[in-house]
Amino acid sequence: DSAVELLELQNGCVCCGPSAGELAGQVKALATGGSFDHVVIELSGVADPRVVKFNLEDGGVDVDRVVTLVDAPAFAEQWMSYDAMEDRIVDEDPYHPTSKGPAITSAEELEADPCAATRKISALLTAQIECADVVAVNKIDLAGED
């Protein structure tokens, strides 16, 4: 049987939520229970990888590298935004009423990750890129020349 176990955390933010301190223990249990070369932890687009890396290392889990995926066409607009994440919630209108920018997150995602709600989009993007050992850029074919 070559099936690999997928562990999906449902208890909110792994940065600051009630299960944040439990992540290292869950990763250790998963790694101990199988013969893995690597364990990949995929965060939501609003998570701060610096905090998650700290929580993992504080719990005794070695973090080999952090990979950040950048959406090329959206990056320039989001990088120059002064909006907070809560200003860009997806609703019926593709543009949030208090912002001129397109919606980029859902109310459910921010409820699961309350520490991201008031954070400025540009600050979150900066944190994600600065923490990265590898930055992968996707959708480059859809990005403008600028």
Query: Is 97:31 a contact under the CB 8 Å cutoff?
Result: no
Residue whose C-alpha is closest to residue 104's, from 59, 44, 40, 18: 44
Query: Is 13:113 a contact under the CB 8 Å cutoff?
Result: yes
pLDDT, tens digit (0-9, with 9 covering 90-100), for 83-142 = 777 776 666 455 444 555 565 666 666 666 666 667 787 888 888 899 999 999 998 888
Q: How many residues are listed for the chain in this entry?
A: 146
Query: Is 115:16 a contact under the CB 8 Å cutoff?
Result: yes
0.75 surpassed by pTM: no
